[in-house]
A and B are shown apart, each in its own frame.
Chain A
Amino acid sequence: MELKPIPTRDGFGEEITALGRVNQNIVVVSGDLEDATRAEYFKKEFPERFFNLGIAEQDVIGTAAGLSTQGFVVFATSFAVFLTNRAYDMIRLDICYNNCNVKVVCSHGGVTVGEDGASAQCLEDFAIMRVLPNMRVICPADVLEAKKATRAITNTPGPFYMRTSRAPLPIITKQEDPFVIGKANVLRKGKDVTVIACGAMVSEALSAAEKLFHEGISVKVVNMHTIKPIDIQAIVVSVKETGAIVTAEEHQMAGGLGSAVAEVVAEHAPAPMEIIGVKDSFGESGTPAQLQAHYGLKDVNIIEAVKKVIKRK
């Protein structure tokens, strides 16, 4: 039976609330978008451990860092674009330089945010978060994985950035799949090309692999839910097995998952590679599906890239 698509932000909201019932040390700080990030699920049950600091992202991060010194696991939440861009200096200094136990969890990553347009869509977060020392970067592919990721970062000390989606994403992982920070999951075996994807692009990669299978091309699909630390071993093994890599992300081509994989490929396992992402452009208003099609973030684009990279083997 096909499960109904659900936004990954719902997984975060539900899991943080469930964790809050057993872990009294969880505190959530919001920049007045708790309805949108789903942090309000937590707020409803634990108002005494929830702070809406208003529309003041710098303050959200600074206060979260201070709270963490009192032994709390602090979640700082807002839209991805507002926290990672507006409060970058606070994330860098307060959280990363001081190595605070703060988890920056942001909804509204990617173009699938939709009609609000470029000012609310975040296509830079992986790049600017993964460049920060001490920061680890996670992007779950579906609601089940979002829950597991929320649990994993709660239980792992130190700074994390996690991006969740506003758009409903199909459920493509299984309840029993492990979620280990920094360890990619192979969702489909294959021998001709490996597609390494994260977030919304993982289901597109699976769809592309299925279509290519019918054309006689065998595609391995890797869900790289942790962008930093990237799973070097999974990339090296994939190059050995398939000899070519395609990456796919709902992010600028520059600086994100594709760049992280390319760094590993260049250093450890040279192979032809194609990067799927937004090509140095801001988003615009439209439905998520229209935007994915316009910016080349669909299974057809992955199919095209796979065929291209095979020729370069």
Chain B
Amino acid sequence: MSVKPLDIVSLERQAVQIRHEILETLACAGSGHPGGSLSSVEIMLTLYGHQMSHKPSDPKWEGRDRLIISKGHVSPVVYVTLANFGYFPKEELKTFRKFGARLQGHVHTKVPGVEFSTGSLGHGLAFANGIALGARMRGKDFKVYCLLGDGEIQEGSVWEAAMTAAHYKLDHVCAIVDYNKVQENGPTNEIKNLEPLGQKWASFGWHVFEVNGHSIKDLVAAFDALKDIQGKPSVIIAHTVKGKGVSFMEGKSAWHGKAPNQEQLAQALKELSAGGGSASGGK
């Protein structure tokens, strides 16, 4: 049976819990990527809890909407979200990045609910387009979502795929950019500026939504609105904060790919319990 849309308040509550579990999972593994995982929590929750048709009990259900994780390093948020929706037991999160585990460092199709193994950047959107083209040929009407990192947009392959989606009028493709504005070695606008990002996508023939990526209400409104867009693909540029919810991680490139130690974990969990990581918004 397909997941029923959850109400926004309970999703907001779940966001706090997911951030807890992301940090615990990372600390247990001793490595991984907290920054982009914490920034995309509300995006993932909105997709799995509100927007996508999916069946955790039958991950390969033919009618499911597909989500392609192009930024494969944010496996913590992906695995924690999937576990929360019942794709596999939460207990398994303790095996993240451990030898012999299904939960590979970057997202892998061994994990129920993961559609495409990634890790090298700039691959997801073309793959999403291919699924969408194939679905159209088969007369299927499911949607294909693709989560992109902002730094990833510096890859030329993203723009090759952006042209293809527009050329073939793939209105069942929706890209979501987790626009946290920080990449591995610093702020995106200092390393290779993406602005004007909305105009770039629009000029490639995409319908563009810009939202606060930490507001589930705003995300829901944007996803709902894009259902009316026909004849062109859509992109939701979700403005977020890297490391959202943990004061010492927020906006810090140092926390792109580093796990917290036990002391840092305790501090982070304390902050989250006190109200961090709620819908208080990216700019």
Contact = CB atoms under 8 A, between A and B. Distances in A.
Contacts, number: 94
A90 interface: yes
Main secondary structure of the interface of B (DSSP, over half): helix
Interface stretch (A11-19, A68-76, A115-123, A230-238): A68-76
A63 B134 CA distance: 9
Q: What does DSSP make chain A's interface, helix, strand, loop or mixed?
A: helix
A90 B123 contact: yes
Given A93-B117, A97-B117, A62 B127 contact: yes
A70 to B, nearest CB: 3
A212 interface: no
Q: From A51, A58, A61, A62, name the one whose CB has the most chain B CB atoms within 10 angstroms.
A: A62
A159 to B, nearest CB: 14
Contacts of B156: 58
Categorize the interface residue count of chain A: 20 to 34
B134 A56 contact: no
B161 interface: yes
Nearest to B131: A66
A94 interface: yes
B164 A53 contact: yes
B1 interface: no
A59 B117 contact: no
Interface in A90-109: 90, 92-94, 97-98
Contacts of A65: 126-127, 130
Contacts of B109: 98
Given A56-B163, A89-B120, A98-B109, A63 B127 contact: yes
A101 to B, nearest CB: 11
Contact of A93 (B123, B125, B163): B123
B179 interface: no
A54 B131 CA distance: 18
Contact of A66 (B132, B140, B163): B132
Interface in A26-83: 27, 48-49, 51, 53-54, 56, 58-59, 61-72
B137 interface: yes
B160 interface: yes
A201 B134 CA distance: 39
B119 interface: yes
B135 A63 contact: no
Nearest to A55: B160
Interface string B106-143: 00010000011111101101111111111101101000
B261 interface: no
Contacts of B123: 62, 89-90, 93-94
B140 to A, nearest CB: 8
Given A48-B137, A59-B164, A64 B130 contact: yes
A53 B129 CA distance: 11
Contacts of B122: 58
B137 A49 contact: yes
B138 A63 contact: no
B57 interface: no
B131 A70 contact: yes
7 contacts: A48-B137, A59-B163, A62-B125, A62-B157, A70-B131, A72-B137, A93-B117
Instruction: Give the top 4 A-B pairs by smallest Cβ distance, nearest first.
Output: A66-B130, A62-B126, A70-B134, A59-B160
